Amino acid sequence: MDASVKSFKRKELGMKIFRACFLTVTVLFVLFPLYWMFITSLKGERELFSDVQTFFPKEITWQYYFDPVNGIFGANSPFLSFFINSMIVSFVSMVLCLVIGSYAAYALARFKMKNNRNEKLSFLILTARMLPPIVVVIPMYLIMQNIGLLNTLWSMLIVYIGFNLPFVIWMLKAFFEEIPVELEESAMVDGSSRMRAYHSIILPLVIPGFVATSIFTVILTWNEFLFAMFLLNSTDKMTLPAGISTFITQYQTNWGALCAAATVSVIPVLFFSLLVQKHLVKGMTLGAVKG
């Protein structure tokens, strides 16, 4: 009896140690590339190419960030314009997407249409998201060329609004569906119109949902590379991912500057993603799984 309890306890302890090791390895595995990116941006040229790799830089240098000639914030570097372009495109497309998408989401979440048409329409919208972007981007390139919008932020706005709409609609729909219908009904019985009930009663209640959705939309746009790479070809118009990709050259990649640029581009995303942790699973699964 005593021995069996002891062996049971030992087994438990072994299990605990195994789990602790496994989790530690997982955490290191996940964080190491980010750490390495940051560390590389702080290393001097000699240390970077030396035979002995250092896991912590012997000499920290911020030259890749702030040097007036070589740094990414220096006068010669296009990095700041990548950053500003990304900000403009992400925020403007997010706002427009949310305005257009919120009405569509409300219509799909609340109105009873004939023959289950709500679900069919929602599904139709979802198919737009399943479309591989490459299928659209090649004709889009030709169309933008023909109408003279190639290499402008306008083309980016059109594409991102259209492509993020399905996501926005499905997310907001899930948030609308969480709010009891009785709230609007009582407002409508009291004589307010449907749209007034929406604006004055429902909208304030889904503000947390709007915030989460808008953050996701900004992150999606911020990270998007394929469309930006096809539709933008001059350095002053590029968004961050497209711009950063031009830092990679076959023979002389400036790793310090590349890592500095990558680090700065990642900071807003890290900050924003912590804000939406709670809604993450919902966001990833378009509201199919409540997290």
Partner 1 sequence: MSNNTNQAASDLQRNELPAKKPKKSKTLQQSDKKLPFLLLTPTFILLAAVTIFPILYALYVSVMNFDTFGNSSGFAGLKNYMDIFASSTFWNAIFITLLYTALAVSIEIFLGFNLALMVSKDGKAMTYLRWLLIIPMMLSPLVVAVVYLLMMNTDMGILNYMLQSIGLPKINFLGEPTTAFLSLIFVDVWQWMPMCFLIILAGLQALPRDPFEAAEIDGASKFQVVRFVTLPMLKPIIVVALVIRTMDALRTFDQVFVLTQGGPGRATETISFLMYRASMKNSDFGFASAGLFIVLIITIIISTMLIRFMNRSQSA
| Residues within window 57-96 making contact with partner 1, judged by CB under 8 A | none
Q: Do the Cβ atoms of 210 and 98 come closer than 8 Å?
A: yes
Q: Do the Cβ atoms of 183 and 199 come closer than 8 Å?
A: no
Smallest separation (angstroms) from partner 1 to the CB of 39: 9
13 part of the interface to partner 1, by CB under 8 A: no
Interface with partner 1 in residues 169-198 (CB under 8 A): 169, 188, 191, 193-195
In the set 140, 156, 206, 238, which binds partner 1 (CB under 8 A)?
A: 140
211 part of the interface to partner 1, by CB under 8 A: no
- CA pseudo-torsion sign 216, 221, 223, 227: positive
245 part of the interface to partner 1, by CB under 8 A: yes
CB atoms within 10 A of CB 52: 6
Of the pair 15, 207, the CB lying nearest partner 1 is at 15
Q: Which of 150, 131, 129 is nearest to 141 (CA)?
A: 150
Smallest separation (angstroms) from partner 1 to the CB of 233: 10
Vertex 202 angle, CA 200 and 207, to 5°: 100
Smallest separation (angstroms) from partner 1 to the CB of 32: 8
Of the pair 1, 130, the CB lying nearest partner 1 is at 130
3-state helix, strand, coil in the chain (%, to 5): 75, 0, 25
225 part of the interface to partner 1, by CB under 8 A: yes
Of the pair 63, 136, the CB lying nearest partner 1 is at 136
Smallest separation (angstroms) from partner 1 to the CB of 201: 16
Of the pair 75, 252, the CB lying nearest partner 1 is at 252
Residues contacting residue 191 through CB under 8 Å, at least 6 positions apart: none
Q: Which of 244, 287, 288 is nearest to 266 (CA)?
A: 244
Max distance between CA atoms of the chain, in angstroms, equals 84
Smallest separation (angstroms) from partner 1 to the CB of 27: 6
Q: Which of 212, 192, 216 is nearest to 202 (CA)?
A: 192
Number of residues that bind partner 1 (CB under 8 A): 91
Smallest separation (angstroms) from partner 1 to the CB of 248: 7
As given in the structure block, the two tokens for residue 87 are 């900000």
8 part of the interface to partner 1, by CB under 8 A: no
Of the pair 68, 200, the CB lying nearest partner 1 is at 200
Q: Do the Cβ atoms of 169 and 125 come closer than 8 Å?
A: yes
Of the pair 74, 268, the CB lying nearest partner 1 is at 268
Of the pair 18, 62, the CB lying nearest partner 1 is at 18
In the set 113, 147, 183, 207, which binds partner 1 (CB under 8 A)?
A: 113
Smallest separation (angstroms) from partner 1 to the CB of 262: 5
Smallest separation (angstroms) from partner 1 to the CB of 189: 8
As given in the structure block, the two tokens for residue 10 are 């030992």
What is the rounded distance in angstroms from the CA atom of residue 208 to the CA atom of residue 204?
9
CB atoms within 10 A of CB 262: 19
